[in-house]
């Protein structure tokens, strides 16, 4: 990361380090953490600061609250972090109150403070409405560290304006690791290089698909978003998910890929049902026949699985974002499972991004066999598309 200091380059001894982390973990209805992967991934940066004699003020968001919402408190994260680092983690129920500022001021070396959800303040997501919010956060410490890769594509107060208020700032180890893997996929990938793009919506991924055309040797499209492309080709899709307003854009993307001689592979058949449940009667619908009205596609079909896994078997580098079916319903998870198996059996470098994709792979107990599981789906897509992120640029200034 040219022009950006690494955490190891900064002397933190006796300093108060304000570290932006991504503790946006899934919670159950009782407020218990369902998966603390994002907290665990930040431990190397946290432990480095503490071992080097710094004191640590942690900032994060949780969910999308509208004002203060006790269900989206970071308090469970403080308890989880205590167990992981085996030391006291003090928690304050605000991030810019006098109590928070005093707690940070009185923090001793090797002590940890976690402040409440940044998004309880409007100024976090809309810094232009409350410029003073970032300035208050800046009073918390001496050094700024961004280790929140999953949030670094958003120009929020704690990501961009806050970094701009510090002379001493650095990238944490997780941020550095994430960017390092993505740069490998962009700058010097071992070929063939294949992108797998799935999930529900085309709208969030058209930009990255177009960008990938300049980097990859082929793109496989699956999941709900495939039906927008299939309809653009004239295939009957029944009641399957489709973004009608993007049909023309989908056609242009397919034409652009053809002009660049980069094949885009679409499903050749689908598993279809008339309602979403495990016991729904499944049928196979080839593209030549299409999906009848009242039926919807929920997974890739057997012919598609065979074709896609054959393509994947020849790839050396794979970037994958988005499942290929409604994997949360076991009866519709076969396509995503077979794709995951093919990826781990074939690719020398496999990078997987997106919460749903990672959840699918973890449900198949295959996560340990992926080269790199990114903590930020949206951030990884934007980095692939643009080659940088607002959070990275803010660390350069």
Residue 308 assigned as binding residue: no
Residue 356 assigned as binding residue: yes
Residue 328 assigned as binding residue: yes
* 3 state DSSP class of 122: helix
* 3 state DSSP class of 341: helix
**Contact predicate 22/42, CB 8 Å:** yes
Residue 314 assigned as binding residue: no
Residue 42 assigned as binding residue: no
Spatial separation of the C-alpha atoms in residues 57 and 78, rounded to whole Å: 12
Residue 62 assigned as binding residue: yes
Point out the catalytic residue in the list 303, 341, 355, 369: 355
Question: What would you report as the CA-atom Rg of the chain, rounded to the nearest whole angstrom?
Answer: 23
Residue 287 assigned as binding residue: no
Q: Report DSSP letters for 226-255, one per residue.
A: HHHHHHHTT--BTT----GGGHHHHHHHHH
Point out the catalytic residue in the list 38, 169, 177, 231: 38
Residue 322 assigned as binding residue: no
38 is catalytic: yes
Residue 354 assigned as binding residue: yes
Residue 22 assigned as binding residue: yes
Spatial separation of the C-alpha atoms in residues 192 and 347, rounded to whole Å: 9
For residue 56, the surrounding DSSP H or E stretch is strand 55-59
Alpha carbon separation from 85 to 7, 73, 111 (Å, rounded): 19, 20, 11
Residue 119 assigned as binding residue: yes
Residue 35 assigned as binding residue: no
355 is catalytic: yes
Spatial separation of the C-alpha atoms in residues 185 and 172, rounded to whole Å: 21
Point out the catalytic residue in the list 201, 210, 283, 341: 201
Point out the catalytic residue in the list 141, 290, 377, 378: 378
Residue 355 assigned as binding residue: yes
CA torsion sign for 356, 362, 364, 369 is: positive
Spatial separation of the C-alpha atoms in residues 96 and 136, rounded to whole Å: 6
Please provide the size of the chain in residues.
397
Residue 367 assigned as binding residue: no
Q: What are phi and psi of 136, to 5 degrees?
A: -65, -40
201 is catalytic: yes
164 is catalytic: no
Residue 93 assigned as binding residue: no
Spatial separation of the C-alpha atoms in residues 215 and 228, rounded to whole Å: 23
Q: Report DSSP letters for 22-48, one per residue.
A: -----B-TTS-BS--HHHHHTHHHHHH
Annotated binding-site residue numbers for (2R)-3-phosphoglycerate: 38, 119, 154
Q: Which residues carry a binding-site annotation for substrate? A: 22-24, 38, 61-64, 119, 154
The residues carrying an active-site annotation are 38, 201, 355, 378
Per the annotation, where are the binding residues for ATP? 205, 297, 328, 354-357
**Which parts are annotated binding residues?**
22-24, 38, 61-64, 119, 154, 205, 297, 328, 354-357
């Amino acid at each position: 990361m040219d022009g950006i200091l690494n955490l190891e380059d900064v002397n933190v001894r006796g300093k108060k380090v304000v570290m932006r982390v991504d503790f946006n973990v899934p919670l159950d209805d009782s407020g218990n953490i369902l998966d603390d992967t994002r907290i665990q991934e930040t431990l190397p940066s946290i432990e480095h600061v503490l071992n080097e004699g710094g004191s640590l003020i942690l900032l994060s968001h949780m969910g999308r609250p509208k004002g203060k919402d006790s269900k989206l408190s970071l308090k469970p994260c403080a308890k989880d972090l205590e167990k992981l680092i085996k030391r006291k983690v003090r928690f304050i129920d605000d991030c810019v109150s006098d109590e928070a500022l005093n707690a940070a001021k009185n923090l001793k070396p090797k002590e940890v403070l976690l402040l409440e959800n940044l998004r309880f303040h409007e100024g976090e997501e809309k810094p232009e409405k409350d410029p003073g919010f970032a300035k208050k956060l800046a009073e918390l410490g001496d050094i700024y560290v961004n280790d929140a890769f999953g949030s670094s594509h958003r120009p929020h107060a704690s990501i961009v304006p806050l970094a701009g208020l510090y002379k001493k700032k650095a990238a944490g180890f997780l941020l550095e690791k994430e960017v390092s893997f993505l740069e490998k996929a962009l700058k010097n990938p071992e070929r063939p290089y294949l992108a797998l793009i799935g999930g529900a919506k085309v709208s969030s991924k058209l930009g990255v698909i177009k960008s990938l055309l300049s980097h990859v040797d082929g793109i496989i499209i699956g999941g709900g978003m495939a039906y927008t492309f299939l309809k653009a080709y004239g295939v009957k899709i029944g009641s399957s998910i489709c973004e009608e307003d993007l049909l023309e854009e989908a056609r242009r993307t397919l034409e652009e890929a053809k002009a660049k001689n980069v094949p885009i592979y679409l499903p050749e058949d689908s598993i279809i049902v008339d309602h979403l449940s495990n016991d729904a009667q499944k049928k196979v619908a080839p593209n030549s026949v299409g999906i009848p009205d009242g039926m919807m596609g929920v997974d890739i079909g057997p012919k598609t699985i065979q074709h896609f896994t054959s393509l994947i078997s020849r790839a050396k580098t794979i970037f994958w974002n988005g499942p290929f079916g409604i994997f949360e319903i076991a009866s519709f998870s076969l396509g995503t499972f077979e794709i995951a198996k093919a990826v781990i059996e074939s690719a020398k470098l496999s990078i997987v991004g997106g919460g749903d994709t990672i959840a699918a792979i973890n449900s198949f107990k295959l996560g340990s066999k992926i080269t790199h599981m990114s903590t930020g789906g949206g951030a990884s897509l934007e980095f692939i598309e643009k080659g940088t992120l607002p959070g990275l640029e803010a660390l350069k200034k």
